[in-house]
Amino acid sequence: MVRVPVVRDILSANERVAQENRRLLESRRICAVNLMASPGAGKTSLILRTAGSLSGRLRCGVIEGDVASRVDADRVAAAGIPVVQINTGGACHLEAQMVGAALEELPLDQIDLLFIENIGNLICPVEFGLGEQARVLVSSIPEGDDKPHKYPAAFAAVDAVVLNKIDLAPYVSFDREAFHRLVRGMNAEAPLFPVSCATGEGLEAWAEWLVDLVARVREGA
C-alpha cells in the first residue's frame, strides 16, 4: 500500500521535468530522439553512421546513457560530435532530470538532431519520458525474431523500429516476415528500417525519416 503512491510521485515528477526539457528543445528548434535497445544492439554504431549520413544536412548531438563507463561517449567525441555522458551508477533507465542536466552541458545552438542513447534495457526505460520528440527502438538480427513478443511494451511505445545487423542474417536463424508481423501486432504505425551499420545498407531510408521528423517538429514548433 505504500509503494504505489511513491512510484506515482516519481513518475509525475519525471513527467514535469520532461515537459521542461521538451519546452527547452522546442525553443532551440532541436528534435530529440530517445533510442532504446538491448545491450549490444548497436545504438552507438547507429548514431555514428547516421550522423555521417546526415552530414551537411543536419547537425547531430548525443547524450550517452550508461550504467557505467564512458566508452560510448569517447567513440562519439572522436567523430567530432558534441556529446555528454550520463552514468547512472546502477540505475536501469534514464530519467528526465538526468537529461535536463546533460542539456545544460551541450552546445545547443550547434545541434539540430539530438540522439539520447538510453540504457541498454528493453523494459524499464519505456516508463520514463525524457522530453524527446520521438522514440525509436533498435533491435538486431542476432537477438532473434521473437523479441516483440517478449518485450511488447517497448515495441508498442515507439515511433519507429530499426532492425540492425542485417548483414548477419545469413549466419543466424531469423524470420524477417515473422518479426515484421509481430512488430505490427504491437504497433500499427511505426515504420520498420532494416539496416546494417557494418555495411551501411538501409541507412538512407532511416536518415530520410529523421530529416522528415526534424522538419515536422520544426513546423510544429
User: Under the rule (CB under 8 A), what is the footprint of its own copies?
Assistant: 2-3, 6, 10, 38-40, 66-69, 71-72, 90-92, 119-124, 140, 142-144, 146-147, 149-153, 165, 167-168, 171-172, 198
Q: Whose Cβ is closer to its own copies: residue 29's or residue 180's? A: 180
Q: Output the smallest distance, CB 6 to its own copies, in A.
A: 6
Q: How far is the CB of 168 from its own copies (least distance, A)?
A: 6
The least distance separating its own copies from the CB of residue 16, rounded to whole angstroms, comes to 17
Q: To the nearest whole angstrom, how small is the minimum distance from the Cβ of residue 124 to its own copies? A: 5
- CB-nearer residue toward its own copies: 58 or 119: 119
Q: In the complex with its own copies, which residue's Cβ is closer, 60 or 126?
A: 126
Q: Which is nearer to its own copies, 39 or 200 (CB)?
A: 39
Closest contact distance (angstroms) between CB of 197 and its own copies is 11
| Cβ distance to its own copies smaller for residue 108 or 168 | 168
Whether the Cβ atoms of residue 86 and residue 64 lie closer than 8 Å to each other: yes
